[in-house]
Amino acid sequence: MIRPQTCPICRQELDSTAPADSKWFPFCSERCRNVDLLRWSKGSYAIVEPLTPEQILEEMREYPGGYDEGYPEIPDA
């Protein structure tokens, strides 16, 4: 069974038409959207496992353009 979409902040079930109609999707309200933005700005969301320099280089080699465009290519070591 497919579970209904819920707001990632308050876990309120969203209406099935929410993605098409809501300007706050995937949140249920402007309040929840702002709570999420505040958490991002405070650094509440973070990678919990420290990355080694080797892991960082591997990621950079796998995505030489970066996740956005404009990053310089990493030369092979």
Q: Is residue 7 part of an annotated ligand binding site?
A: yes
Q: Is residue 6 part of an annotated ligand binding site?
A: no
- Do residues 8 and 36 lie in contact, with contact meaning Cβ atoms separated by under 8 Å? yes
- Do residues 25 and 18 lie in contact, with contact meaning Cβ atoms separated by under 8 Å? yes
The region, left, alpha or beta by phi > 0 then psi within -120 to 50, assigned to residue 12 is beta
> What residue numbers does the annotated binding site for Zn(2+) cover?
7, 10, 28, 32
> What residue numbers does the annotated binding site cover?
7, 10, 28, 32
